[in-house]
Structure formats: C-alpha cells, structure tokens
Amino acid sequence: MSFLGPQFEVYKRCIEFIEIEGSHSGENLARIVEGALDKHNLLPKLISITADNASNNDTLYRHLHNSIARKYDDYLEEFPSRDSTMRFKGKGSQIRCFAYILNLVVKAILADLGSSTYKDAIAFLDRASEYLAKKT
C-alpha cells in the first residue's frame, strides 16, 4: 500500500501478508482485501488498486466495490449520517500495472522477431551481425 503523509512524502506499507486459502478467484481475493483494509480502518481511504490484467482481478474489483458499497450506502439517505464516504469506484478505480503491460508488449515484439528466448535472441543477433558484415 502507498500513501502520502502530511508533508506529501510517500509511504509504503505492507498491510497483510498471508497464504491465500482456497482458490485465487476474484470473489475470494475481494474477501481477503476487504478484510485487510477493514482490519486497519482503511476502507474509506481506498482509492484504487494496481494489478495485472488477470480476469480474476476484474471480478475482484466488482465484488469488492459491491461489498464496500453496502457499508457506505449514504446515497440512499436524504440526509447522509455516515462519517466517511466511499472513494473506491470498482473497475473505474482500476489501474493497470504499466510494468506488466510493457512486459507483454516487449514479449510480443520479441516473439515477432523470433527472439523470445535467450537462445533465440543470440541467434537473432548473430544473423543481424552476419547481415551487417555482408553489407559492408
């Protein structure tokens, strides 16, 4: 988890480190994330989650949003009496991990070049060197 302190310094903390029991389904992950956030009173402070493109993460966002929304249903009241408001917007709060996406792009480019493994890359560089040597 990352957050800004009073002087806008960035802090990073691990709020939970557990072995996941059961499947790694989005529903199960949502339950675990909600439990960890609730334990530290961080539910109203959750703004976004950064993760890869795995489909279970899409389910995680949906289930987590639905569950949290039940706790912050002040939109149903004419005069909301809750101390906090919900900032997390489910899939709208999803941030795709740029490093993961960049990795997918690079893998696709390397596969097109025929150099997706170390051995393939060496072979490609050897062919390129031979080509350049013949040109000069």
Could you identify the residue written with the tokens 């988890």?
A: 1
Residue extents of the structural domains in the chain: 2-96, 99-136
pLDDT of residue 75: 57
CA proximity to 100, closest of 57, 63, 65: 57
pLDDT tens for each residue of 88-109:
887 777 787 788 788 888 888 8
Residue 80 predicted with pLDDT over 60:
no
Q: CA-CA distances (angstroms) from residue 81 to 37, 40, 84? A: 22, 22, 9
Which band of pLDDT confidence, cut at 50, 70 and 90, is reported for residue 129?
Answer: very high
In contact, 60 and 93? CB cutoff 8 Å = no
pTM: 0.61
Which band of pLDDT confidence, cut at 50, 70 and 90, is reported for residue 32?
Answer: very high
